[in-house]
């Protein structure tokens, strides 16, 4: 099923992990994807794979979402080469975890600028073109940390709570002008970000212990998140407005055991 045939989709941080899986899924549904990524090596590789596998016009455009000018240039290049964006997925994000009184001003600023400012810069850059055509879908990749707290993960949840606020605020502002804005909150997903964290953990059992805490007994897969993103980006979801779809194997519905 090609629900996104000939749509132009920008996916930030699509060089690996969840973003890459979303880019693949979108391309397999017929979209021409801009891989808006800070790493040229990762971004080029994803775009080349999409072109080879799907025959779509996937393109890497280097972009640091934390830099408003870099975002504006990426969107201008998208419009010039592929056309006006129909879909934006704000996926680029970093985990900055610490104790509140130990983190530095630089840690705080890095987290907020990538995880929250970055999403706003991208929304602000695509909205004029979407509004002019009266259609668009924005999907923000939030987190379980958007509505629950784990101690010692400060300030990541603050940025992710803010991202849900951004989602709901923009969703309502533009609901009657053809734009949908929604969020997806993944739980523990098996991506390079988490693989890195497990590798750095001195406990060799760290991964197994995390898996044991998941009600379904495993981590989620990036393609499972991508399937939800494809639905929200498609015309099948035009009545879903300002929603936050949780995809976490049931971990946040549990009280405690």
Closest by Cα among 151, 142, 140, 161 to 97: 151
Stretch that binds ligand NAD, among 11-19, 49-57, 126-134, 173-181 (CB under 6 A): 11-19
- Token pair for 59: 């393109």
Query: Taking a C-beta distance cutoff of 8 angstroms, is the pair 131, 174 a contact?
Result: yes
* Closer by beta carbon to ligand NAD, 181 or else 189: 189
Q: How far is the CB of 58 from ligand NAD (least distance, A)?
A: 15
* Closer by beta carbon to ligand NAD, 13 or else 136: 13
Query: Cis before residue 158, ω within 30 degrees of 0?
Result: no
Please report the beta strands in 27-170, taking only residues with DSSP state E, as ranges in sequence order. Answer: 32-37, 59-62, 87-90, 97-98, 136-141, 154-155
Stretch that binds ligand NAD, among 99-107, 171-179, 191-199, 232-240 (CB under 6 A): 191-199
- Considering only residues 38 through 67, tell me which ones interact with ligand NAD, judged by CB under 6 A: 38-39, 42, 63-66
Q: Which of 156, 174, 188, 256 is catalytic?
A: 156
Residue labelled with tokens 């907020």 = 112
Please report the beta strands in the chain, taking only residues with DSSP state E, as ranges in sequence order. Answer: 8-12, 32-37, 59-62, 87-90, 97-98, 136-141, 154-155, 179-186, 244-247
- Token pair for 108: 């705080």
The residues facing 11 across adjacent strands are 35, 89
- Considering only residues 83 through 122, tell me which ones interact with ligand NAD, judged by CB under 6 A: 91-94, 114, 118
247 touches ligand NAD (CB under 6 A): no
- Token pair for 19: 């973003």
* Closer by beta carbon to ligand NAD, 40 or else 128: 40
- Considering only residues 164 through 183, tell me which ones interact with ligand NAD, judged by CB under 6 A: none
Task: Give the Cα separation of 246 and 252 in Å (integer).
Answer: 9
226 touches ligand NAD (CB under 6 A): no
Q: Is 156 labeled as catalytic in the residue annotation?
A: yes
186 touches ligand NAD (CB under 6 A): yes
Query: Taking a C-beta distance cutoff of 8 angstroms, is the pair 61, 36 a contact?
Result: yes
Q: How far is the CB of 91 from ligand NAD (least distance, A)?
A: 5
Q: Is residue 253 helix, strand or coil?
A: helix
Stretch that binds ligand NAD, among 12-20, 53-61, 77-85, 122-130 (CB under 6 A): 12-20
Selected from 10, 11, 15, 229, the binder of ligand NAD by CB under 6 A is 15
Selected from 54, 56, 78, 143, the binder of ligand NAD by CB under 6 A is 143
Interface residue list for ligand NAD (CB under 6 A) = 12-13, 15-19, 37-39, 42, 63-66, 91-94, 114, 118, 141, 143, 186, 188-189, 191-194
């Amino acid at each position: 099923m090609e629900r996104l045939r000939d749509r132009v989709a920008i996916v930030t941080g699509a060089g690996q992990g969840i973003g890459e899986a979303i880019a693949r899924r979108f391309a397999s549904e017929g979209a021409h994807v801009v891989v808006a990524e800070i790493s040229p090596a990762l971004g080029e590789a994803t775009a080349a794979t999409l072109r080879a596998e799907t025959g779509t016009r996937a393109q890497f455009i280097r972009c640091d979402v934390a830099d408003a000018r870099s975002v504006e240039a990426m969107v201008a290049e998208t419009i010039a080469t592929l056309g006006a964006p129909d879909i934006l997925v704000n996926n680029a994000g970093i985990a900055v975890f610490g104790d509140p009184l130990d983190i530095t001003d630089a840690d705080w600023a890095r987290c907020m600028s990538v995880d929250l400012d970055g999403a706003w810069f991208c929304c602000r850059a695509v909205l004029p073109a979407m509004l002019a055509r009266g259609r668009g879908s924005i999907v923000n990749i939030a987190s379980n940390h958007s509505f629950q707290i784990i101690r010692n993960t400060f300030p990541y949840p603050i940025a992710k709570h803010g991202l849900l606020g951004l989602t709901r605020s923009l969703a309502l502002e533009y609901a009657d002008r053809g734009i949908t804005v929604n969020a997806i909150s993944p739980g523990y997903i098996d991506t390079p970000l988490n693989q890195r964290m497990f590798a750095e953990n001195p406990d060799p059992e760290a991964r197994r212990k995390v898996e044991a805490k998941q009600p379904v007994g495993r981590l989620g897969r990036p393609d499972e998140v991508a399937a939800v993103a494809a639905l929200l980006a498609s015309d099948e979801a035009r009545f879903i407005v300002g929603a936050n779809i949780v995809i976490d194997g049931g971990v946040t519905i549990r009280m405690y055991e």
